[in-house]
Amino acid sequence: MKEEKKLAVVNNKPLKARIFQYRWFYVMFLPVLIFILLFNYLPMIGYRYAFYEYKSALSIKWVGLDNFVRLLSTEAFWSAFINTLQLSIVKLLMNTGMAVIISLLLNEIKNLTFKKVTQTIIYLPHFMSWVVTASVFALILSISESGLVNNLLLNLGLINDGEQIYFLGTKATWRLSYYIINIWKDTGWGTILFLATLSGINPEIYEAATIDGASRFSSMRYITLPALSNTIITVLILNLAKIMNLFESVFVLINDNVIDVAQVLQTYTYDITFAAAPDFGFSTAVGLFRSLVACVLVLGCNYASKKVRNRGIV
Amino acid sequence: MNNKKFKYDKHQIFTMIFSLLAVIAFFLPFSSGVSATSLDGKHSFQIFDIIGFVFQPDKLAAGAGSTFYLSFVISALLLVLLFFLAIVIFVQTLLQGKVGIRRALAVVFFVGILFAGMSFNSTLTEVAKTGNNLYEVYPEFKIALKTTTGSVNNWVRKIDNLVEEADEVFAEYENKDEIVVTLQSLSEEANGIDYSASDATKKKYNQYIFESMEELIEIEDQEAIFTSYFKNMCKSVSNISNVYGIGFLLLMLLGLLLTGSTYTEKELTGFRNTGISVRYMYIGVMALVFFGTLLLPIVTVPGTSQIATGFNTLTFISVLLAFGKLTNFDDLASGLGLTLTGEVSSALIMVGILFMVISLGLMIAFFYTNIKQKKFITRRILGIATAVCYILGFILANSALKTTGISVTSNLYMLLGIVLAAATLPFTAMMDKERYKAFSIINILIFIIISAFILVPLWKVIVDSLDASAGYGMKLWPAKFDLEGYRTVLTYPTIVKPFLVSVLTTVAGTALGLILSTLGAYVLVQFDMPGRNFFANILLFTLIFQAGMIPVYLNLQNLGILNTLWAVILPMSINVYNLVLMRNFFEGIPSSLIESAQIDGCSPMGIFVRIVLPLSKAALASIGLMFAVAFWNDYTTFKLYVMDTNLYNFQMKLRAMIFSSDLPNNNSISENTLQNAAIMVAIIPFMIIYPFCQKYFVKGVNVGAVKE
């Protein structure tokens, strides 16, 4: 985090006096510190089990890097790793792209009431939990008679009775469904930042451009889009840092039929942890690997962010 | 300059003649189509059969031989192309394009429509011929085959339907079981046939139908039963020739109106000056109406769409057109295959139709006044009146039709009415301002579609949760309104308890989270405080490196709070993102305020409580809401760290209800209704507060990213 030191009164008092002056602030920070230590730092000790074989509390034995060696040769792990990258990156690009397009179009709407109502509607799904989202779409995409999409296809004559597509249970359609559900849920919310940037553009620039004979689309191309580019990069970087955290959205939509295309690192960890004969050592190693990759990503994005916008993300 | 004395020039007259001819031409394929496929003069060919045929070449081949498939597809494509050509012609006319081009296009259109009509006709005749041999032998079976080719275009499926319907239809008949068995075997055999294999299989199919029918014919009274059964099937009154034809007629009327209004030089200039928006608006509206009428009948209630296709608005109008020839309404009704129950229904339907016709008139008036740029208030009143009349007429006719026993599926037409009504408002407002261009209109249409994409799934949940009958595709409102779903969810102990757990964790977690965030954030803005940077780094490191699932699990176990609600409330209430967000808010408080308080001798705590917090109400609301949403929606933490089913929160319960059918035993209500009601209960709390709190949420996002 980049700290802009406030140009307040320069404090020249000796350290002890300053500590005394701020004594109440230390008391105020104490609960935060305790919570952070208890729930964020203390658990990290648990990572030591990544170097143990831990099949039950009674048999814990040191195996060094064996878990990691095993990890790198496990096919399911690599599949999960690649799925994590693919799902989150495609999702990120689709959501951001859609959000940019929607923001640009929404920015062109001059009727404020219509704009506000639209914004209210498109932000709405963000507040649904993933469980609710998954439930709603499981019902809509189902093959039963209440499945809206299949009924539509049926009535259009695109499929026959009995050929209903089980969208969330078929490998070929799961990812597409997943991306569309994500667009439904989060694209609207993603427009907030872009809209804020757009409202910050000086309208005089547009007026000048119009006087110079610029069409709506060339204004959009040469004024709006460049103004937005910085925000787009920011959003991409902020979200790229989080791609390893992909969990709940997949977890609520995954099922045994689509493991190959849907399993991500977090769900994989969950599965092997709650498997019939779990090896917590191995699961922890997967978790540690994930955290390390995430760590590298965050630091990389932070570096990129500093380069691009002179400001880190953490 | 004189409005009343303009003369039509020859190309304008040509446009009008063309319009009339095009209307007639457009009806041709349908009238001939009717003669090719109707079984009793009532049942006509439907446009969606074309769509069905195009996507099912094998089925068509089974009916008429594969050589006809090509001509069929070509004529279908031609029809689509012609529609776009019609739009092009209108655009040309509106923009006063070159006469030669318009004329040429019109000729192409006219020839094309005739060709499409003939081509369809011959193809369909061929399809219908297939069953001819059978007609000679068994009159009632003729009806069966005719119906099959004409309306379902899929024999197998029709027989399957027969099996499904048999129970109901033959309920009174003593040999019911025999019929069912015969039909079932028929269906099984039919399923086994490879239809792509042309004549041989066709023969085989005919053969076994013959045999099966011979079995059937031995059953007494079968003729009467079949007659009544197929009479039911023929209730399908929504035929597309009306929809298509009248939609087209509307376009033509509008086209005439438009061309008629541009003839004086003054008006022509005025029309052009109003901007291209006016013209595009009309094209937009026309396209909307047209596509609306064309596409909406597709989305009917499944299962019933083939047997008794829903009534639609334009059928009402066609009924009215036919009305002059009939002496009483009951004749008309029976002519349409309807069974009306009593005077009330007839009267209601008539009033409903009347309203809809009025709304049609109003709509035309609305267009006209817009073209003429009449007073704004007049236009808006007309727009609203159109919608109101449409909806009112709709409700009346719809409720009356329900008593006829026909599944009324026209809810979507209602939707069309509402969309049109919604569309009129921005349109009228726009007319006065030149800066609105075609782009604005398309843009607004895009957002109407996006909003629909967001809202349709939610609306379906709402409707299904209130509907005791549940099930079928998309309904605009519940078919059988009932609050039993909500009552069950809110009274069954196994569901209420998780709900209370959710409330508890949300309230406690939000309170604790707010306390921790404000305290931590306030310390972080004390830039002179020794150790402040160290504290900041301790917090920020947790964003970079996090403990995973199992370490956290073991930690909670060691702390002795695993499997208690503390395992959710405590870890989630320390959220570094929210803390940094709060810090950003605090930085926005002018330091002069704090300094003057310091000079006045206020203690740091005093400043915090008396100055910082009161100034940060928006921030507290924003971050409080974020915590509340996170706690209310939490599923993962519960799933991972709380195993005791007694401590599940509502999201956990909801998950179990939907995906494991873990539902309370209540026979009076369908599973689907209950599931949807549970979903609603999970989202209602935030649906209620969300519109009032939207600005706080938005503020939170902006402050978080912009100033971080």
Q: Could you give the CA distance from residue B520 to residue B567 in angstroms, rounded to a whole number?
A: 21
Closest CA to A119 of B697, B415, B632, B630: B697
B635 CB near a chain A CB, below 8 Å? yes
pLDDT, tens digit, 9 for 90 and up, residues A293-303: 988 988 888 88
A53 closest CA partner among A264, A289, A279, A206: A279
Contact yes or no for A175/B326 (Cβ under 8 A): no
Dig out the tokens for B321 from the structure. 């057109």
ipTM score of complex: 0.89
Closest partner CB to B429 (pick from A47, A111, A248):
A111
Q: Point out the residue among A18, A134, A313 whose CB comes nearest to the CB of B528.
A: A18
* Nearest CB to A121; choose among B455, B540, B639: B455
Q: Is A67 part of the contact surface with chain B (CB cutoff 8 Å)?
A: no
- Contact indicator for A59, A291 with CB cutoff of 8 Å: no
Task: Give the CA-trace dihedral at A148, A151, A157, A159, to 10 degrees.
Answer: 90
Judging contacts by C-beta atoms under 8 Å, the chain A residues touching residue B516 are 31-32, 35
A174 lies within 8 A of chain B by CB: no
A247: helix, coil or strand? coil
User: In Å, how far are A22, B611, B629 from A118, measured between CA atoms?
Assistant: 48, 37, 22
Check pLDDT > 80 for residue A82. Answer: yes
A6, pLDDT greater than 50: no
Q: How confident is the model at residue A78 (pLDDT cuts 50, 70, 90)?
A: very high
Structure confidence at residue A147 (pLDDT): 78
Model confidence at A233, pLDDT cuts 50, 70, 90, reads confident
Per-residue pLDDT at A81 exceeds 60: yes
Interface contact flag, A122 B520, Cβ < 8 Å? no
pLDDT average, residue stretch A257-284: 87
Would you call A8 an interface residue with chain B, using a CB distance cutoff of 8 Å?
yes
State the pLDDT at residue B238: 28
Please enumerate in sequence order all residues whose Cβ is within 8 A of that of A183, keeping only pairs 6 or more positions apart, or say none. Answer: A94, A95, A98
Q: Looking at residue B574, what is its pLDDT? A: 92
Partner-chain contact A106 B659, CB within 8 Å: no
A2 vs B contacts (CB less than 8 Å):
none
Does A296 touch chain B if contact means CB atoms closer than 8 Å? Answer: no
**In angstroms, rounded to a whole number, what is the distance separating the alpha carbons of residues B66 and B200?**
13
Q: Which residue has the higher pLDDT, B67 or A208?
A: A208
The interface residues of chain A toward chain B in range 197-236, judged by CB-CB distance below 8 A, are 216, 234-235
Answer whether residue A266 shows pLDDT above 60: yes
Provide the shortest C-alpha distance from residue A61 to chain B (in Å).
17
Q: What is the per-residue pLDDT for B74?
A: 62
B580: CB partners within 8 A, 6+ apart: A1, B521, B524, B539, B704, B708
Compute the distance between CA of residue B554 and CA of residue B641 in angstroms, rounded to an integer: 10
pLDDT of B18-48, one tens digit each? 555 554 444 443 433 332 232 233 333 334 3
pLDDT over 50 at A282, yes or no: yes
pLDDT winner (highest mean) among A241-245, A250-254, B285-289: A250-254
Which residues of chain B fall below pLDDT 70?
1-81, 83-84, 86-104, 106-107, 109-354, 356-357, 359-360, 363-364, 367-377, 379-380, 387, 390-391, 393-439, 441, 469-477, 479, 665-667, 704-708
What is the identity of the amino acid at B396? L
Closest Cα in chain B, distance from residue A254 (Å): 11
Which tens digit of pLDDT belongs to each residue from B55-96?
A: 444 444 444 344 445 555 666 666 666 766 766 666 666 555
**Residue among A22, A148, A314 minimizing CB distance to B543:** A314
Cα atoms in the 13 Å half-sphere on the side-chain side of A163: 10
pLDDT above 70 (res A190): yes
